[in-house]
Every structure is written in structure tokens, then in C-alpha cells.
Amino acid sequence: MTTPTKEQLLALADRVEQATAADNGLDVEIEIALFRPGSVYTDVRANAAGSKVIYTDRAGNDVTCWSEDWTMEPRRSSTAAALRARAHALEVK
């Protein structure tokens, strides 16, 4: 996984704000953009169809999952805010 740039995160936030319905493909992009390696998973990528995410654990095993419903109406504004916050956090580094 490559870390998204500030511009990519802001563009993704714009797309979320412009969405008028839930969008699984967009959910996958968001899941990947907001991912941070942790104690269990070290990497994430989309499957070939772009419909699910594949997490890689510390042992190198892959786990395929549905992404969160980031673009459902109740979450859309908080998702865009999270993407914008992540973009602006890149400025500090």
C-alpha cells in the first residue's frame, strides 16, 4: 500500500461529499486511504474487482473483508471530515 498524498485525500473527501448514495467502490478506496498499520494488520489493498479489501497480517496471511459503509448517509460527513483531517495531518509531518 502506498500512503495517499494530501491532494488524493482531499479529492477523495470531495467525492464523498458529492456522493448521493452509498458506493461500495468508494467505500473500499476510503478504507484503504484511512488504514494505518497496527499490531495485527500491516497492509491493505483492494481485491481485483475493487469490491472488497484484503488485509495482510504480521504473519503474511491475507484476510478478505467487506469495507466499512463509509458512504452511507449517516456517515458521509464524518467520513469526509476524517479524510480531510488525515490530509492536513500530512502537513505536520
Q: What span, in angstroms and rounded, lies between the C-alpha atoms of 56 and 63? A: 6
Summarised one tens digit per residue, pLDDT across range 17-68 is 999 999 999 999 999 999 999 999 999 999 999 999 999 999 999 999 999 9
Q: What are phi and psi of 87, to 5 degrees?
A: -65, -45
Q: Is 24 helix (H, G, I), strand (E, B) or coil?
A: helix
Q: Average pLDDT in the 10-14 region?
A: 98
**Residue 78 grid coordinates:** 464524518
**pTM for the structure as a whole:** 0.93
Per-residue confidence at 3, pLDDT binned at 50, 70, 90? confident
pLDDT of residue 15: 98
Which contacts (CB < 8 Å, 24+ apart) does range 40-43 have? Answer: 43/1
